[in-house]
């Protein structure tokens, strides 16, 4: 009797597993892996890129308004003590290395994934600190999440320890968008400044080449 | 206990000698604190710690009057996701060196007590597992200065 019950239970478990595999299992290939749980990042999807509209200190910021320019996009947060300043400094240095003609065709965008703390006032000071050509942007948590999803950005607010400010785990890539608004390249964290310059020049093509 | 007293004296003496020795074999090079945009109250300090001694050492604590909380941190890069975590210590192996650098180990200064300006000297005390300490004054530097420039 108990043996029979065991087999029934095992059968039910197997069917549930099969149904789940068939309908809900979406394996992520080539994306960060992890064990989703409290405080852990879920693997983000593949970056698709695409247009978006967020709020910046200068008003609405729409990616489509930068058509004709090469846009360098970075997702982070201003309480980020090391990773974001490192990436944004590299971006700023790359911009500094460009000729004025090239620089006129380039725009940096820092998207905060921490709208709770990163007000427009904070962003207005933070982003241009690294280079005047970098603008800060954020939006409602839902909108930021949507933009992040499209670019394959993963982020997760961490539980604060005691009275320390909370940190946010986040993917640290620099997304390079070509003149037509397409996601053209993705630079990993710590990419050398020279690589960023190279990517920008590649996308600027003949028009951006110093004469 | 005939041997107790000499034994204790020897132990105490060797402990003093040991810590004095440790003081001279551990050294800190090119420390700096990263200048952050105005209004940002968290930053990091970076440096090179050298250990010329025969024993592995651990940096176990850092302290500074410039911040409310000072912690030892590291970064884990898990497939492009950067996770900053506090660590109990930072190891400096015998006859070796450990670099505290962006994207890796660093001394975290949380909740700065006053805004930092470029060129300010931030006093930091490092404490090692043998009880020795090193006092340093780390200049505040723009992140740019810490990276090599590309060729034009």
ipTM for the complex shown: 0.71
In-domain check, residue A194: yes
Angstrom distance (rounded) from CA A134 to CA A75: 12
Task: Using alpha carbons, list the distances in angstroms from residue A105 to A70, A74, A208, B151.
Answer: 6, 18, 8, 20
User: Which residues 6+ apart lie within 8 Å of A175 measured at CB?
Assistant: A47, A49, A72, A73, A74, A151, A183, A185, A186
- The answer to whether residue A154 neighbours chain B at the CB level (below 8 Å) is yes
Q: Determine the angle formed by the axes of helices A83-97 and A120-130, rounding to 10 degrees.
A: 50
Residues of B with CB under 8 A from a CB of A: 34, 36-40, 42-44, 69, 73, 75, 77-84, 86, 102-103, 106, 108, 110-111, 143-144, 147-152
User: How would residue A48 be classed by pLDDT, with cut points 50, 70 and 90?
Assistant: confident
In-domain check, residue B135: yes
Go through A89-105 and write b for each residue having 16 or more CB atoms within 10 A of its CB, e for each that does not.
Answer: bbbbbbbebbeeebbeb
Angstrom distance (rounded) from CA A124 to CA B38: 10
Residue of B nearest to A91 (CA): B144
Optimal mutation site among A34, A75, A78, A81, interface B, most CBs of chain B within 10 A: A81
Domain that holds residue B57: 26-143
Mean pLDDT of chain B: 84
In-domain check, residue A105: yes
In-domain check, residue B7: no
Residue B55 CB neighbour total at 10 angstroms: 14
In-domain check, residue A18: no
Domain that holds residue A92: 53-158+165-208
The burial of A5, by beta-carbon neighbours within 10 Å (0-12 exposed, 13-18 middle, 19 or more buried), is given as exposed
How many structural domains does chain A have?
1
Q: What is the CATH number of the domain that holds A64?
A: 3.40.30.10
Q: How close is the nearest chain A Cα to the Cα of B150, in Å?
A: 5
Task: Among A78, A97, A197, select the one facing B40 at the smallest CB separation.
Answer: A78
In-domain check, residue A19: no
Q: For B45-94, write each residue's pLDDT tens digit.
A: 999 999 999 999 999 999 999 999 999 999 888 877 888 888 999 999 99
Residue B124 reports pLDDT greater than 60: yes
Task: Among A125, A161, A167, select the one facing B37 at the smallest CB separation.
Answer: A125
Chain B residues within 8 A of A86 when measuring between CB atoms: 102-103, 143
In-domain check, residue A36: no
In-domain check, residue A78: yes
User: How would residue A24 be classed by pLDDT, with cut points 50, 70 and 90?
Assistant: low
User: How would residue A18 be classed by pLDDT, with cut points 50, 70 and 90?
Assistant: low
How many structural domains does chain B have?
1
Q: What is the CATH number of the domain that holds B133?
A: 2.60.40.1890
Q: What angle do CA A16, A22, A24 make, to 5 degrees?
A: 85
Phi and psi of B150, rounded to 5°? -80, 165
- The pTM of the full predicted model, rounded to 2 decimals, is 0.75
Strand partners, B57: B92
Phi and psi of B95, rounded to 5°? 50, 45
């Amino acid at each position: 009797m108990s043996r029979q019950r065991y087999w029934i239970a095992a059968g039910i478990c197997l069917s549930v597993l099969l149904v789940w595999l068939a309908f809900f299992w979406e394996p992520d290939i080539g994306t960060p892996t992890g064990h989703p749980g409290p405080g852990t990042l879920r693997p983000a999807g593949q970056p698709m890129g695409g247009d978006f509209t967020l709020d910046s200190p200068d008003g609405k910021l729409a990616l489509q308004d930068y058509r004709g320019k090469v846009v360098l996009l970075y997702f982070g947060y201003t309480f980020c003590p090391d990773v974001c300043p490192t990436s944004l400094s590299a971006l700023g240095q790359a911009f500094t290395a460009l000729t004025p003609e090239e620089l006129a065709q380039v725009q940096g965008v820092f998207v905060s994934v921490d709208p709770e703390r990163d007000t427009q006032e904070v962003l207005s000071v933070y982003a241009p600190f690294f280079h005047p050509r970098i603008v800060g942007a954020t939006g409602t948590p839902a909108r930021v999440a949507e933009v992040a999803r499209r670019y394959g950005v993963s982020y997760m607010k961490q539980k604060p320890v005691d009275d320390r400010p909370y940190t946010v785990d986040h993917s640290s890539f620099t997304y390079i968008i070509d003149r037509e608004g397409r996601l053209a390249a993705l630079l990993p964290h710590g990419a050398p400044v020279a690589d960023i310059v190279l990517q920008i020049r590649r996308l600027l093509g003949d028009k951006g080449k110093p004469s | 206990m005939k041997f107790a007293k000499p034994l204790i004296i020897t132990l105490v003496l060797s402990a003093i000698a040991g810590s004095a020795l440790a003081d001279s074999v551990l050294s800190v090079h090119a420390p700096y604190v990263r200048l952050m945009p105005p209004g940002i109250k968290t930053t990091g300090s970076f440096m090179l710690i050298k250990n010329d001694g025969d024993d592995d050492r651990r940096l176990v604590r850092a302290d500074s009057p410039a911040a409310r909380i000072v912690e030892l941190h590291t970064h884990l890069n898990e497939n492009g996701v950067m996770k900053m975590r506090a660590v109990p210590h930072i190891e400096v192996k015998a006859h070796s060196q450990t670099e505290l650098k962006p994207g890796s180990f660093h001394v975290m200064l949380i909740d700065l007590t006053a805004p930092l300006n470029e060129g300010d000297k931030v006093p930091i005390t490092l404490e090692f597992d043998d009880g020795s300490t090193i006092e340093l004054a780390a200049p505040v530097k723009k992140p740019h200065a810490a990276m090599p420039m590309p060729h034009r």
